[in-house]
Amino acid sequence: MRSCFNAWIVVALVVVPVLLSLRNPRGETENTETTTSFSDSSFSVKLANTLPFNQRIRDGSNLEYDFYRDTCPQAEDIVRSAVTRIYFDQRDVSPALLRLFFHDCFIQGCDASLLLDDNGDRNRSVEKQAVPNQTLKGFDKIDLIKEEVEQACPGVVSCSDILALAARDSILLAGGPFYPVLTGRRDSQQSFFKEATDQIPRPDDNIRRTLHLFNLRGFNERETVSLLGAHNIGKIGCDFIQQRLYNFQGTGQPDPSIPPDFLRQMRLNCQDNKNVSSDEFSTSVISEPESVVVHSDSGMSYMQALSSSVSSGAGFDTHYYQSLLRGRGLLFADQQLMAEEKTARLVSAYASDDGSTFRMDFARVMLKMSNLDVLTGPQGEVRLNCSQPTSS
């Protein structure tokens, strides 16, 4: 047992740092004042705790590698096994869990506040009821994993840690990069409906608003462009494309920036829906806007967005960025990455190699995201049921 533990320490402190040490992309010039350098080859689990954040963000410095090694040493194995089992039964669980994780972390940090129910209280609104969150899936999968962990270690492992681990494991199963997840998060006792309604990025946001929302949470342009690459997997639902195709910014016409051949292709996949409202259109630009009962099941992936003459892999490669270079972004907010010189250079850089630069950047920024504004120590609680606070 000790030798296995030591092996994991070696992986975390030696192998992972080598894999995650980054060079400056060819499309990005050095700017030490406004960007975080990713060229430091001394990256380690310790450094992961001290990545720069703005002052309002708790940086996760109280998180630990293998936090549950004494109280629930099998916790991460249970999560990994459950996610693997679910994935081979339902492949779209990867983008669903990734999007769930992003929506949780983006609002008041990675604290599982998104998972809370209103428990029938009509005077109380919770995050999952906010319009941008109404198409989220995967809540039941987190509940299932939590039940398995609770059977082994009652009242020990937080829902926020389970969500962070499950998102990482699902990304890996979908062909994405590995990144270390530090643990020791605590669960929020409250949910943030108004913040979720107002602050989740929208698919019709322009580049300035997208960069502003991410910058408020400590992410620079490079990190933002890398995070948006999560669209490599999953499907963009037609409900979140239709206004761009049929009533762009209330004009009754399509977005004039869409190439005519691509517009025809998108309209074949997404028929006109006169009932799409601006409220229904408000949703996240991260991962796939999945459907619920009131939404259409149809949609497109970024694999479809590329022309048949362009070769691409099936997962975390460069096809998202190649699509943007060709003007074939599915969401307006995605294509807007080409509207500013610096983000356009980053898109070009990510699209110009075999995907290794993007994968390394994505791993690092996901580690940073997972430490965003976390609760630790005496803060928050460990829920027994992820949808209900333990203490009221």
Concerning whether 103 is annotated as a catalytic residue, the answer is yes
The β-bridge partners of 388 are 385
Tokens 């310790």, located at residue: 46
Instruction: Note the helical H segments in the chain.
Output: 2-10, 16-20, 45-48, 75-89, 93-106, 139-152, 159-173, 193-199, 207-215, 221-228, 242-246, 260-269, 278-281, 302-305, 319-325, 332-335, 341-351, 356-370
Q: Is the distance from CB of 14 to CB of 331 less than 8 angstroms? A: no
Say how far apart CA 253 and CA 269 lie, in whole Å.
Answer: 17
List, in order, residues 6 or more apart from 194 with CB less than 8 Å away.
Answer: none
The β-bridge partners of 236 are 300
Say how far apart CA 236 and CA 333 lie, in whole Å.
Answer: 12
Q: Nearest-CA neighbor of 176 among 245, 226, 138, 222?
A: 226
> Of residues 103, 231, 295, 319, which has the active-site annotation?
103
Say how far apart CA 331 and CA 333 lie, in whole Å.
Answer: 5
User: Catalytic amino acids?
Assistant: 103
